[in-house]
Structure 1
Amino acid sequence: MLKIENLDVFHGDAQALDDVSLDIPERAIVAIVGANGAGKTSLIRTIAGMHRPARGKILYRGQDIAGWPSHKVCDLGIGQVAEGRQVFPTLSVAENLAMGAMLPRARAQRDRNLDKVYAMFPVLTERRNQAAGTLSGGEQQMLAIGRCLMGAPDLIMFDEPSLGLAPAIVHNVLKIVQTLNGEGMTCVLVEQNVAVSLKLASHAYVLENGRITLSGSGEALLGDDRVRQAYLGL
């Protein structure tokens, strides 16, 4: 569904991604794990059209979208749940969700998708007239996911969805990723929480200093001594 080939990305003189190649099969959960500063967010933002690569291809269903503006990438069906939630704090929950439905691909499905989001996150129904900035961290993460779903994506990239959340909330958020995948959504999970990510993922990549250093099934990487020593403290 999504294929990255030999991607190089620079921020000024600093190279953020170095010859990165990976595959995201349709209906899979693919984890991209690594330490803070490894290049995970740079990869997500480059796919989303927020950074322009210096070299390489980003093939979405066979079409090279490298360098496309982010609104065109979104309208193809690639959604993003950004690191740190990035909700509009002064807008209400309902207004945040309406913003997600502004893509041309999503307008005809707006009411159906809104019903789906409210059914998935009942707390958002209760808080729909409340300013998003007054929600708890977990509720804001639900809103960020709901807003993404309002854009009718076929693939969602989750960038550090557990960041800053209590363990019980983290469990709920990752359960949502599993549920969406079970309904046919392709999910890219970018996480520092390596153990949980690898348990969820059918396939995973380890990103270190901008390069892919390991790849394999989530289960295989979870049992790999290099991963266990570097990321799990085992």
Structure 2
Amino acid sequence: MLTIHDLDVFHGDAQALDRVSLDVPEQAIVAIVGANGAGKTSLIRTIAGMHRPAGGTIRFRGRDIAGLPSHEVCNLGIGQVAEGRQVFPTLTVAENLAMGAMIPRARHHRTRNLERVYTMFPRLKERHSQAAGTLSGGEQQMVAIGRCLMGEPELVMFDEPSLGLAPTVVQEVLRTIRDLAEGGLTCVLVEQNVAVSLRLAARAYVLENGRVTLSGTGEELLANDGVRKAYLGL
């Protein structure tokens, strides 16, 4: 579904991504593993159209989308659940979700998609008129995921979805991602809990200093001695 080849990204004079290549198969979870500053968020934002690459290609369903503005990327079917949730704090839950349905591809199915989100996250239906900024961290993450799903994405990129959440909530969020993938959604997962993300992932890539240094199935990377020492403390 998504193929990236020799992607170069700079922030000023600093190179954030150096000839990054990877493939994301349809209806799979692909994990991106790496330390802070490795280039994971730069990769997500470049795919989403928030950064313009200096070189390379990003092909979504065969079309090169590198350099397209973010609203066009979103309307093609690529969604993003950003790090830190980034809900609109003064808007209600319902208003936050409605923001996700503003792109052309999703407008005609707004009611259906809203019911889908409320079925997935019943707590959001209970709190539909509550300001999103007054919700717990876990509930705000539900809003962020739900808002993304309102845009009818075919591929969703999750950037640190468990960051700052209680362990029980983390399990719920990751279970939601697994269920979405089993339901046919393609997922790119950047997650600080490396062990869990590799167990979920059909395929995984290790980013170090902006370069892909290792790739394989989630199970292969989970069993790799270098990965276990660097990211699992084993």
TM-score of the superposition, structure 2-length normalised?
Answer: 0.99
Give the counterpart letter for 1:79 in structure 2: G
Question: Residue 20 of structure 1: CA displacement?
Answer: 0.1
- Contact 1:34 1:191 (8 Å CA) reproduced: no
Which residue matches 2:56? 56
Alignment length (residue pairs): 234
Alignment partner, residue 35 of structure 1: 35
Aligned partner of 1:118 in structure 2 is 118
Which residue in the other structure is 2:99 paired with? 99
Structure 2: gaps (5+ residues): none
TM-aligned CA deviation for residue 192 of structure 1:
1.8
After TM superposition, the structure 1 = structure 2 runs for residues 66-215 of structure 1, keeping only pairs within 5 Å, are 66-215=66-215
Q: Distance in 2 between matches of 1:120 and 1:61?
A: 28
Partner Cα distance (1:102, 1:12) in 2? 33
Per the alignment, residue 26 of structure 1 pairs with 26
Identity of aligned residues (%): 77
Q: Which amino acid aligns with 1:43?
A: L
**Counterparts of 1:201 and 1:60, CA distance in 2:** 20
SS at match of 1:4: strand
Residue matched to 1:223: 223
Asked whether the 8 Å contact 1:36–1:192 carries over to 2, the reply is: no
SS in 2 for 1:158: strand
Q: TM-score, normalised by structure 1?
A: 0.99
Cα distance, 1:191 vs structure 2: 1.2
- Output the aligned Cα RMSD: 0.4
Contact 1:33–1:204 under 8 Å retained in 2: yes
Any idea what SS the aligned residue of 1:84 has?
coil
Q: Secondary structure at the match of 1:87?
A: coil
Amino acid at match of 1:39: G
Moved over 3 A (4+): none
